């Protein structure tokens, strides 16, 4: 396939191609937009092929849309490539957004890895956040798939690694009555190794030992029988896999985020995939201290997706 820059008048080294010319052919209509149709035929030296292209461009006298006055946008390009050796091929570009003069951010994003794509063994150009405070609170919404309908779990958490203390409040749909919610509060006191859970509806409290299954728990390096509270990086799932930086992506209304992607292999041919979104700019203004905005976790077994969970942080 011919790269788009070649069809827009540039050569193999992205320099202006003097042999690229276009001529007006007719008026037309594409997706309800009045257009002018132009045609071009030129030779591409690096692949030794003749290219015939038809451009459907918005008519500046009849359609203005979101661009400045007297500017048009390309809606569709029909391409036929006839190499000196080989088979002639034809295809079509449907253009949904065209920026004649892209901004610095748009130019940078054009070279970034697409959203959700993990590339093994790549060199990460930005390390994952490591300046998380010892005392952090967060509010989040978790979207988890369900048999009948997705479940939304609201949660508030407080982590204090200095005093070895965590608290979780969670609200989630009652499986017996979707119109009501279950609310529980859980406290992990690592100073004494106990976990307290309070059922706010039944006003019952249970006390158990802290186990390895808790998300805030790690095994001591000095004694494998000793459990202790994890670091701030562990609490935010940043220390158990290698993350690769993939650039800035839009993550909220008027908010852009730095995005890191990681994967790790688990037993039974299971692969866990994570995408971490940390704020970078709001309304175009850089953030002094980045905060976590969203975490997407996907689990694959034998190459097939079987679980997706998205956590949106509303406050940190």
Scored b (16 or more CB within 10 A) or e, 182-212 reads bebebbbbbeeeebeeeeeeeeeeeeeebee
Q: Is residue 276 part of a domain?
A: yes
First to last CA, the chain: 46
Q: What is the pLDDT of residues 256-304, one digit of tens each?
A: 999 999 999 999 999 999 999 999 999 989 888 888 999 999 989 888 8
Asked whether residue 146 is domain-assigned, the answer is no
pLDDT tens profile 200-241:
888 899 999 998 888 889 888 888 778 899 888 888 889 889
Q: Are residues 85 and 122 in the same domain?
A: no
Is the pTM higher than 0.85? no
Provide the β-strand partners of residue 47: none
141 pLDDT higher than 90? no
* SS (HEC) of 156-212: EEEEECCCCEEEEEEEEEECCEEEEEEEEEEEEECCCCEEEEEECCCCEEEEEECCC
Residues 239-248: tens digit of each pLDDT: 889 999 988 8
Q: What is the spatial distance between Cα 217 and Cα 231, in angstroms, rounded to a whole number? A: 9
CA distance 194 to 188: 6
Q: How far apart are CA 122 and CA 205, in angstroms?
A: 48
Please check whether residue 145 lies inside any domain of the structure: no
Taking only the tens place, the pLDDT of each residue in 50-81 is 999 999 998 888 876 666 677 788 889 999 99
Work out the percent of the chain whose per-residue pLDDT is above 90.
32
Specify the range with the lowest mean pLDDT, choosing from 6-10, 177-181, 212-216: 177-181
Are residues 113 and 246 both part of a single domain? yes
* Same domain for 162 and 38: no
Does residue 168 fall inside a structural domain?
A: yes
Do 241 and 122 lie in a common domain? yes
The reply to whether 180 falls in a domain is yes
Whether residue 256 sits in one domain with residue 223: no
- Within-domain flag for 72: yes
Query: What pLDDT score was predicted for residue 176?
Result: 72
- What residues make up the domain containing 182? 135-140+151-235
Q: Do 112 and 243 belong together in one domain? A: yes
Same domain, residue pair 279 and 248: yes
What are the distances in angstroms from CA 278 to CA 107, 128, 256, 306? 21, 9, 8, 26
Residues 121 and 256 in one domain: yes
Claim to verify: residue 11 and residue 94 sit in the same structural domain:
yes
Domains in the chain, number: 3
Using left for φ > 0, alpha for ψ between -120 and 50, and beta otherwise, residue 235 falls in alpha
Mean per-residue pLDDT, 168-189: 83
Please say whether the beta carbons of 29 and 59 come within 8 A. no
Are residue 188 and residue 229 in the same domain, yes or no? yes
């Amino acid at each position: 396939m011919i790269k788009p820059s070649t069809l827009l008048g540039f050569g193999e080294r992205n320099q202006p191609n003097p042999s690229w010319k276009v001529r007006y052919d007719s008026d037309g209509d594409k997706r309800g937009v009045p257009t002018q149709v132009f045609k071009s035929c030129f030779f591409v030296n690096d692949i030794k092929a003749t290219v015939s292209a038809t451009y459907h461009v918005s008519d500046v006298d009849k359609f203005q849309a979101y661009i400045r006055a007297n500017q048009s946008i390309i809606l569709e390009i029909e391409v036929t490539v006839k190499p000196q050796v080989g088979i002639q091929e034809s295809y079509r570009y449907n253009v949904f957004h065209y920026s004649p003069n892209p901004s610095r951010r748009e130019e940078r994003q054009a070279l970034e890895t697409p959203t959700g794509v993990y590339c093994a063994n790549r060199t990460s150009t930005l390390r994952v956040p490591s300046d998380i405070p010892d005392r952090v609170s967060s509010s989040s919404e978790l979207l988890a798939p369900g048999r009948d309908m997705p479940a939304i779990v609201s949660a508030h958490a407080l982590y204090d690694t200095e005093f070895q203390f965590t608290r979780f409040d969670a609200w989630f749909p009652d499986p017996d009555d979707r119109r009501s919610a279950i609310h529980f509060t859980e406290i992990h006191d690592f100073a004494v190794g106990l976990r307290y859970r309070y059922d706010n509806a039944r006003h019952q409290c249970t006390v158990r030992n802290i186990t390895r299954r808790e998300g805030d728990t790690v095994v001591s390096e000095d004694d494998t029988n000793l459990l202790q509270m994890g670091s701030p990086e562990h609490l935010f799932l940043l220390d158990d896999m290698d993350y690769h930086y993939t650039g800035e992506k839009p993550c909220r209304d008027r908010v852009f985020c730095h995005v890191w992607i990681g994967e790790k292999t688990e037993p039974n041919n299971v692969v866990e995939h994570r995408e971490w979104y940390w704020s970078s700019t709001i309304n175009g203004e850089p953030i002094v201290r980045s905060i976590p905005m969203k975490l997407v976790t996907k689990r694959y077994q034998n190459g097939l997706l079987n679980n997706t969970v998205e956590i949106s942080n509303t406050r940190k």
